[in-house]
Amino acid sequence: MLTLPASVRVFVARGATDLRTCKHLQINPFVYLRDVIERVSTHPARLVLELTPREWKLLQRDSGAQAAA
């Protein structure tokens, strides 16, 4: 049996949790992951919580409302 390093197990568990959260919040996981992966390297570390599914959805909704105004 393959034993993965603890850091890999944590990474996989975190990813699985984010995907379940996306489904719970009715977020398309592909759209969420694509956006976060594109932004993560330039996103300010102090605003990292904005990349969590719950905050990401709120920001997407707010930016959509601003774009429509």
Per-residue pLDDT reduced to its tens digit, 2-45? 787 888 777 677 778 888 999 999 999 999 999 999 998 999 99
- Across 1-15, b (16+ Cβ under 10 Å) vs e yields eeeeeeeeeeeeeee
> Residue 13's pLDDT is what?
77
Is this model's pTM higher than 0.75 or not?
Answer: no
Q: Is the pLDDT of residue 66 over 60?
A: no
Q: Which amino acid is at 18?
A: D
Distance (Å, whole) CA 17 – CA 12: 9
Length of the chain: 69
The residue ranking higher by pLDDT, 69 or 50, is 50
> Residue 59's pLDDT is what?
92
